[in-house]
Amino acid sequence: MPRKRENALIKSERRFGLALVTPSFFLVFSIIIFPILFSLYISFHSWNWKRPQTIGRFIGLTNYINAITNKFFVDSLRTTFIFAFSTVFLTFIMAMAIALVLNTDFRGRGVVRSILLIPWAIPAVSNAVLWQWAFDADYGWINGILRSLHLISEPIQWLSRGDLALGCVIFASVWKGVPFTAIVLLAALQTVPKALTEAARIDGAGRWGVFKNVTLPWISTSILVVNILNTVWTFQSFALIYNLTQGGPGTATQVLPYFIWIEAFRWMDAGLGSATAFVLMAIIFVLTAVYFKLFYRGGGEYR
């Protein structure tokens, strides 16, 4: 009897646990899994709303072939790589410098940490609008400051020149991404044992030696994770481009997420847009695998 009661109790707990998990499962399935599966289905079919008579016709890999052979896809991919890796590199360098400063004791450090979070807390759309006004040729404060310092005689068309617009987008992305990266790196720096750094100094290592041989290896996992996150986020960047430049001038700032939006919603070709989205997802997976292959050796060790 005790064994039967125990088994009955276990089954009752399992049923109760299943009942608690089921609503969450259906929620995740309806807003995440089902849309992904349906998009995958669409990517293998003709799904152009301008040609409704062809919707639902199976065409195999045609959408994928059309996506990767499209000239605008190639241009957007190149722009995406420039934008993403420039943003990730500059964000990491600036965030590491800020984290090292904030890891030292100085008066008002708590206030500086609080202020640092402001750019990260601003929504993506608000961030784009903020910098759209800042880079405005007629009313922007950037041109205003440069003119007041007599560094320029005429307003610079920041967002209307192809050679400057991408740099402006990168700057706005870095400005928003630095706080999160700096906070993560600061948290990692605070876990470095002082005994290790003091022992390195006793052995004659300078500041650079301590940083290179002690600090960097210790926080290597955090560096890897934050760089992977920043890479994934920048490759998915849409709101900033849409609200700041809309891919212009021309296609100078047209990254892949914006190109996917154009294909799916402006040209109404959901099949081609879905196929391009899965190509982007595959690129992100490959880049993540490359990160781990190049820098992570397992056991918490970082190359």
Whether the predicted pLDDT of 9 surpasses 70: no
User: Closest Cα to residue 91, out of 112, 119, 113, 110?
Assistant: 119
The boundaries of the domain holding residue 81 are 66-302
Task: Calculate mean pLDDT across residues 271-295.
Answer: 89
Task: Calculate mean pLDDT across residues 265-271.
Answer: 90
pLDDT band at 3 (very low <50, low <70, confident <90, very high): low
Task: Calculate mean pLDDT across residues 242-263.
Answer: 92
> pLDDT tens-digit profile of 202-215?
877 788 888 888 88
pLDDT band at 142 (very low <50, low <70, confident <90, very high): very high
The amino acid at 71:
K
Is 19 inside any structural domain? no
Is 25 inside any structural domain? no
Say what the pTM is: 0.86
User: Closest Cα to residue 142, out of 112, 182, 111, 175?
Assistant: 175
Calpha distance 183→238 (Å, rounded): 24
> pLDDT tens-digit profile of 37-67?
999 999 999 998 888 888 888 999 999 999 9
pLDDT band at 299 (very low <50, low <70, confident <90, very high): very low
Is 90 inside any structural domain? yes
Higher pLDDT, 21 or 295: 21
Tally of structural domains, the chain: 1
Calpha distance 5→73 (Å, rounded): 64
Is 45 inside any structural domain? no
Task: Calculate mean pLDDT across residues 177-195.
Answer: 91
The CATH code of the domain that includes 263 is 1.10.3720.10
Task: Calculate mean pLDDT across residues 64-83.
Answer: 93
Query: What SS3 string covers the chain?
Result: CHHHHHHHHHHHHHHHHHHHHHHHHHHHHHHHHHHHHHHHHHHCEECECCCHHHCCEECCCHHHHHHHCCHHHHHHHHHHHHHHHHHHHHHHHHHHHHHHHHCCCCCCHHHHHHHHCHHHHCCHHHHHHHHHHHCCCCCCHHHHHHHHCCCCCCCCCCCCCHHHHHHHHHHHHHHHHHHHHHHHHHHHHCCCCHHHHHHHHHCCCCHHHHHHHHHHHHCHHHHHHHHHHHHHHHHCCCHHHHHHCCCCCCCCCCCHHHHHHHHHHHCCEHHHHHHHHHHHHHHHHHHHHHHHHHHEEECCEEC
Calpha distance 210→254 (Å, rounded): 42
Calpha distance 12→290 (Å, rounded): 46
- The confidence score (pLDDT) of residue 297 equals 57
Is 112 inside any structural domain? yes
Task: Calculate mean pLDDT across residues 2-23.
Answer: 74
For the chain, give the mean pLDDT.
87
- Can you read off the two tokens belonging to residue 231? 């890479």
Contacts of residues 44-52 at CB distance under 8 Å and 24 or more positions apart, as own/partner, are 44/271, 45/271, 46/271, 47/269, 47/270, 47/271, 47/274, 48/268, 48/269, 48/270, 48/271, 48/272, 49/268, 49/269, 49/270, 50/267, 50/268, 50/269
Is 38 inside any structural domain? no
Is 195 inside any structural domain? yes
- The confidence score (pLDDT) of residue 211 equals 84
Is 148 inside any structural domain? yes
Q: Give the residue carrying structure tokens 């293998």.
A: 44
